[in-house]
Structure 1
Amino acid sequence: PAQYLFYVHKTVPRWRLVITSKIGFPSTTKAEEWRFTRARTADDTNTEVREMIDADGYCLFKIGGTFADIERDRISTR
């Protein structure tokens, strides 16, 4: 089974990338820009992350949001 591979961006560390060992890095970035942090099984990876990878080939997210960001997202999805 594929492993879920977690990375942190080397120069902008609040950005995280999750890919699978079967798919690899998206063509829009380079492996050299990312530092590997851990591998997880599907059972140990959030459903939303797995679904994003199934749909897009990767999951990209940013650490350090604010509660104002949540409200902004609520408004933009109405």
Structure 2
Amino acid sequence: MEGADMKFTYDDIVWASEASNPQVPRRKAWIVGIFESRPGPYFDQFPPGPVYTVEFEDGSSTEIHEADLTPWSL
């Protein structure tokens, strides 16, 4: 893993969900980016802790807080 407090690393497969909107179903995604520090004001919308860029099966991607990710399993 990248840092001591990181739950995930590059290429991990995860379930991504939106804790703020439980109506949105979780989606299978891959970790493609990791932000341990906050490089700009965009990241102020997330709580403290790592933010990941995830890519979904349809090729779309987004940033999501670690709390909204769980390890992928069938």
TM-score bin, normalised by smaller chain: 0.3 to 0.5
Bigger relative CO (Cα 8 Å, ≥ 6 apart): 1
Q: Name the structure where strand makes up a greater proportion of residues.
A: 2
TM-score (norm 1): 0.32
